[in-house]
Amino acid sequence: MSELSRRNFFKLGACVVGGACAGNALPQIGQSSEAEGHATVAMTLPYPRTRLANLQELSVGKGLPRTYPDTSSPISLLKLGRRTVNGVGPDQDIVAFSRYCTHMGGALTYRSETGAYHCPLHYAMFDPAKGGLLVIGQATDNLPQLDLEIDAQGDIYAVGIKGLIYGRQTNVLASPDAR
């Protein structure tokens, strides 16, 4: 140990034991101007406004497969044929849900004979007429439901999601390039 570093070592030890260090006696940690150069980047983004379909493409009781908010998130756009919770459109009967089961991500399908989304893995069922309510099964959460809007031409847009899509920490992440 050189004479200089030995002197600093004893100086630092005296500060710690005595509890009375001068401001310049301790190493300056975490005060580099480098930190000032990094801007904080938001990890999540607003939901995109995405056209899903036109009213004329829907048939009562048939789920229309789409994706939202990105291509790795399958959803189902559905016209139930009767006024329903959170339904939009002239008959307030159009809804959309994530197609990933909230238990372990099974791919759900809508069956008009039961009026429910069914999971092929462990047989959970969700009711689209009641906001995606879990009816039966091992899942503990209801299905995430999309917020929908319809314009004057009858085009249906997704503008958000209530609930967390299975397997995600957040529904809309900033791209890795933006971090």
DSSP 173: B
We find the least distance from the C-beta atom of residue 36 to ligand FES, in angstroms, to be 47
Distance of alpha carbon 30 from alpha carbon 18, whole angstroms: 24
Gyration radius of the chain's alpha carbons: 28
Annotation marks residue 122 as catalytic: yes
Site residues (CB under 6 A) for ligand FES, limited to 134-163 = 137-139
| Cβ-based nearer residue to ligand FES, 119 or 129 | 119
Site residues (CB under 6 A) for ligand FES, limited to 106-125 = 106, 119, 121-122, 124
Distance of alpha carbon 69 from alpha carbon 98, whole angstroms: 10
Unique residue bearing structure tokens 């101007």: 33
We find the least distance from the C-beta atom of residue 98 to ligand FES, in angstroms, to be 12
> Of residues 75, 94, 103, 110, which has the active-site annotation?
103
Site residues (CB under 6 A) for ligand FES, limited to 48-107 = 101, 103-106
Which of these, 137, 132, 143, lies nearest to 121 by C-alpha position? Answer: 137
Report the relative pairing of strands 64-67 and 109-111 from DSSP bridges.
unpaired
Q: Which residues participate in catalysis according to the annotation?
A: 103, 122
For ligand FES, the binding residues (CB under 6 A) are: 101, 103-106, 119, 121-122, 124, 137-139
